[in-house]
Amino acid sequence: DIVMTQSPLRLPVRPGEPASISCRSSQSLLHRNGYNYVDWYQQKPGQSPQLLIYLTSIRASGVPARFSGSGSGTDFTLKISRVEAEDVAVYYCMQALQPTWTFGQGTKVEMK
Amino acid sequence: QITLRESGPTLIKPRQTLTLTCSCSGFSLSTAGVGVGWIRQPPGKGLEWVGLVYWDDDVRYSPSLKSRVTITRDPSKNQVVLRMTNMDPVDTATYFCAHNRVGYNFYYYGLDVWGLGATVTVSS
């Protein structure tokens, strides 16, 4: 299995500040088609997860521009340019390169 | 509009078999490229990928659950069924189904629509 390791696991931020979450995979997630198969999901308290980013950097429909994804190979990052109160949630990375997919442990973003 | 809805028992005894149904609307399970995945989340914990079935009956399972899990597709009802045998209290979780789509040259669109989840408790 590919192991996905997120850091930090808890991220206190102030509104308006930037936030960054790292995700490292135990194997390269680069497909021969040139895409890295990493998604980011947001799960707000009491809700189902929602897709934020797929294929490393493509924002899903309706996702605000303050969310961005980057990376390649084994190192990936989710950035929130200016955190808003509604961004309080747990964020998960997930690899979809192998036939069996795996999630990271999750990073809890909370307000200071 | 794509929607998915999970249904099944809320309480199940140890060693019994769990059967959950994901009822899909707004898309067809027979359309090329379409897939439906199952993901579970124990109370207060993270997400665990369980498995996935594609339009062509290509099925994938988590290695840790493979011996106990079966995922099938019923195109006539537009439903996906998850079956998990020999349930244990550690399998207590909310089980989600989610829509996926793949395109030309393996282009992939993520798990873009999720159901609300079905909470299953395993207890005697």
3-class state of residue A86 by DSSP: helix
Q: What is the pLDDT of residues A43-78, one digit of tens each?
A: 999 999 999 999 999 999 999 999 999 999 999 999
Chain B residues with CB under 8 Å of A54 CB are 108-110, 112
Low-confidence ranges of chain B (pLDDT < 70): none
The residue among B5, B67, B102, B114 with the most chain A CBs within 10 A of its CB, best to mutate, is B114
The stretch A29-49 carries a mean pLDDT of: 96
The whole-number pLDDT of residue B35 equals 97
Report d(CA A66, CA A41) in Å as an integer: 15
In angstroms, what CA-CA distances link A3 with A41, A86, A95, A98, B76? 17, 29, 9, 11, 37
Chain-wide mean pLDDT for chain A?
A: 97
Confidence band for A38, pLDDT divided at 50, 70 and 90: very high
Residues of B in contact with A39 (CB under 8 A): 110-111
Query: In angstroms, rounded to a whole number, what is the distance separating the alpha carbons of residues A111 and B41?
Result: 24
- The closest of A21, A3, A29, A19 to A81, measured between CA atoms, is A19
Find the mean pLDDT for residues A83-106: 97
Q: How far is CA B112 from CA A14, A18, A111, B101, B105, in A?
A: 29, 25, 27, 8, 19
Query: Does the distance separating the beta carbons of A100 and B62 come in below 8 Å?
Result: yes
Question: What confidence score (pLDDT) does residue A35 get?
Answer: 95
The answer to whether the Cβ–Cβ distance between A96 and B108 falls below 8 Å is yes
Instruction: Give the pLDDT of residue B106.
Output: 86
